[in-house]
Amino acid sequence: MARCVPITLLALVLTVCSCAAGVAAEKSPAHDDEYYELYKLLVDTMDQVERNYVKDIDRRELMEAAIEGVLEKLDPYSSYISPKEISRFRGTVESEFGGIGIQVSNDGGQLQVISPLVGTPAYRAGVLAGDRIVEIEGESTKGWSLDDAVRRLKGKEGSDVKLTVVHAGETKKIELSITREQIHVETVLGDHRGDNDDWDFMLDPQHQIGYIRVTAFSRDTEREIRKATERLQADKLKGLILDLRFNPGGLLTSAIKVSDLFVPKGRIVSTEGRNSPKRVWDAHKDNLPTENVPMVVLVNRYSASASEIVSACLQDHDRAVIMGERTWGKGSVQNVIELEEGRSALKLTTAGYLRPNGKNIHRFDGAKDDDEWGVKPNDGFEMRLGDAEIVGLIEDRRDRDIVRASHDDVDNDVDNDMDNAHTDSGDAGSEAENGSDTEEQSADADKPEDPPFIDRQLQMAVEYLTAELARAE
């Protein structure tokens, strides 16, 4: 029985095979024939599914599934970014998007504000940590997923979005109309916030030890670090801690620029791939805002990619002491290739990178602990945290990130009834939904407070720098 291959799919095969033949022009005709037969197999399969499967299947859905299947055979870092995901992907890379500027979570099917971002429309409107968002544009948010909420909160700059919120520990609904702006997500944070909610980068004023935490490497990270170091220098900085723990990476160019801030000369990183010529990046003397200031870089098993480039560079040039745990081991470079005139994209691994000493960073399948991969702490400065301690560290840092603004700081046009709202996050929102229980609240108030979390890795860094500064005097 003759098989009827759809013209559009057949045209696709002929086009792809034509391109494949061009790429493999120097190979044997048998190799080209194999390509043709394999692509024809794919088209025949798609045709059979489309015509004979038990129910209708969207053709684009099939194509995207096929693309994703191809990429899954490569490595964990190559992926397809669909038209539905492209906007969020670009926002993540750029650390910018159109929105109101809040971090949200889903607490038992109810949207809750983790924290507003300083200086954003939500911050100025009086949205507080712990607020429950009960309605968006008049529609109840109960049962919404985070994706549902983010999709409704983001939008074109200058457009308005209406929220109904309930402050933690209260029951009164407050309606807010907030105008969206271009939101910049800060990637450079300090240890604690000052009185104006900005980050205070001076960790230890007595010994003048600064602390800069980098959560990702975006286009603005180098500029933000330079700004932070300038503030620290104005306060007579003597020692610096760069915290790259839990940093998953980001842009290669950003990692190079950040490394260039601290290394006076020499190799920063090099890359090379099967079809990519070797590229090298070297440091420039004129980019040093903290020259001669002793440094510690904190890393852990979740520090990856761009954060490994920076920590390896500073370690190989003896610019900083690396403390904490061995890093993740992601030494591959992904290029973002636009598809469909930018409506979708392909994130494809095209090269690997090497640290300045020429050694490998990537942890390949089957790699053992004694193999060469990742970035190891300097001798005598390894301190691995257990899983429970890691959770405690994450919660402690998340608590420090929260903006607990007083109502005196918000715009005057905000409802005066907001003056008595609480700013504490936690479980107050879910209690308010079910009504107040004064006896239960009183019992909670009598409970002893948990002891403050001690960050042993950070403590080790401070002790080391304090001793180094004492020796230098």
The two three-digit tokens of residue 272, written as one number: 């090379």
Element (H, E) at 212: strand 209-214
Which of 243 and 115 is assigned the larger pLDDT?
243
Same domain, 215 and 360: yes
Portion of the chain with pLDDT greater than 70, in percent: 83
Residues 128-139 have a mean pLDDT of: 92
How far apart, in whole angstroms, are the C-alpha atoms of residue 332 and residue 249? Answer: 11
How far apart, in whole angstroms, are the C-alpha atoms of residue 84 and residue 282? Answer: 38
Same domain, 311 and 342: yes
Element (H, E) at 189: strand 188-189
The pLDDT value given to residue 169: 84
Least confident of 15-29, 118-132, 290-304: 15-29
Please tell me whether residue 261 adopts helix, strand or coil conformation: coil
Measured between alpha carbons, how far apart are the two ends of the chain, in Å? 91
Those residues whose C-beta lies under 8 Å from the C-beta of residue 67, and which sit 6 or more positions away, are 80
pLDDT classification of 17: cutoffs 50, 70, 90: very low
How far apart, in whole angstroms, are the C-alpha atoms of residue 345 and residue 333? Answer: 16
Q: Is residue 429 part of a domain?
A: no
Residue with tokens 């973002």: 336
Same domain, 227 and 340: yes
- The domain of 263 spans 188-392
Active-site residue list:
305, 316, 330
How far apart, in whole angstroms, are the C-alpha atoms of residue 82 and residue 342? Answer: 10
**CA atoms within 13 Å, Cβ hemisphere of 29:** 0
> In this structure, which amino acid lies at residue 435?
G
Phi-psi region of 426 (alpha: psi -120 to 50; beta: other; left: phi over 0): left
| Residue-averaged pLDDT of the chain | 84
DSSP 269-292: EEEE-SSS--EEEE--GGG-SSTT
Least confident of 72-76, 182-186, 234-238, 441-445: 441-445
The pLDDT value given to residue 115: 87
Tally of structural domains, the chain: 3
The pLDDT value given to residue 158: 92
Same domain, 359 and 260: yes
Same domain, 374 and 324: yes
Residues 52-58 have a mean pLDDT of: 91
With residues binned 3-state (H G I as helix, E B as strand, rest as coil), the percentages for the chain, rounded to 5, are 35, 20, 40
Per the CB < 8 A criterion, the answer to whether 192 and 396 are in contact is no
Same domain, 99 and 34: no
Sign of CA dihedral 282, 284, 289, 294: positive
Residue with tokens 């709202």: 421
Q: What are phi and psi of 224, to 5 degrees?
A: -70, -40
Same domain, 224 and 167: no
The pLDDT value given to residue 438: 41
pLDDT classification of 432: cutoffs 50, 70, 90: very low
Least confident of 26-30, 167-171, 383-387: 26-30
Which of 289 and 391 is assigned the larger pLDDT?
391
Same domain, 196 and 157: no
Q: Is residue 353 part of a domain?
A: yes
Tell me: the pLDDT tens digits for 81-131? 999 888 778 776 666 678 998 888 887 778 988 888 888 899 999 898 889
pLDDT classification of 27: cutoffs 50, 70, 90: low
Please tell me whether residue 322 adopts helix, strand or coil conformation: strand
Nearest one of 305, 370, 364 to 333, comparing CA atoms: 305
The pLDDT value given to residue 18: 46
Last-in-domain residue among 184, 205, 222: 184
Q: Is residue 165 part of a domain?
A: yes
CATH number at residue 148: 2.30.42.10
Q: Is residue 112 part of a domain?
A: yes
Which of 130 and 23 is assigned the larger pLDDT?
130
Q: Is residue 302 part of a domain?
A: yes
Same domain, 295 and 370: yes
Per the CB < 8 A criterion, the answer to whether 117 and 183 are in contact is yes
Q: Is residue 453 part of a domain?
A: no
Residues 338-366 have a mean pLDDT of: 93
How far apart, in whole angstroms, are the C-alpha atoms of residue 179 and residue 110? Answer: 23
CATH number at residue 377: 3.90.226.10
Q: Is residue 461 part of a domain?
A: no
Tell me: the pLDDT tens digits for 377-413? 999 999 999 999 999 999 999 888 888 755 444 443 3
DSSP 374-391: S-PPPTT-B-PPPHHHHH
Last-in-domain residue among 373, 392, 411: 392
DSSP 400-441: HH-----GGGS-TTS-GGGGG-----SSHHHHHHT---HHHH
Residues 309-338 have a mean pLDDT of: 96
Per the CB < 8 A criterion, the answer to whether 469 and 294 are in contact is yes
Tell me: the pLDDT tens digits for 367-379? 999 999 999 999 9
The pLDDT value given to residue 32: 78
Last-in-domain residue among 184, 213, 229: 184
Residue with tokens 């696709």: 12
Same domain, 238 and 276: yes
How far apart, in whole angstroms, are the C-alpha atoms of residue 163 and residue 174? Answer: 8
Same domain, 194 and 179: no
| Whether the predicted pLDDT of 14 surpasses 50 | no
Per the CB < 8 A criterion, the answer to whether 160 and 211 are in contact is no
Same domain, 171 and 195: no
Residues listed for the chain: 473
Paired sense of beta strands 96-99 and 174-179, if any: unpaired
Q: Is residue 357 part of a domain?
A: yes
pLDDT classification of 184: cutoffs 50, 70, 90: confident
The pLDDT value given to residue 19: 47
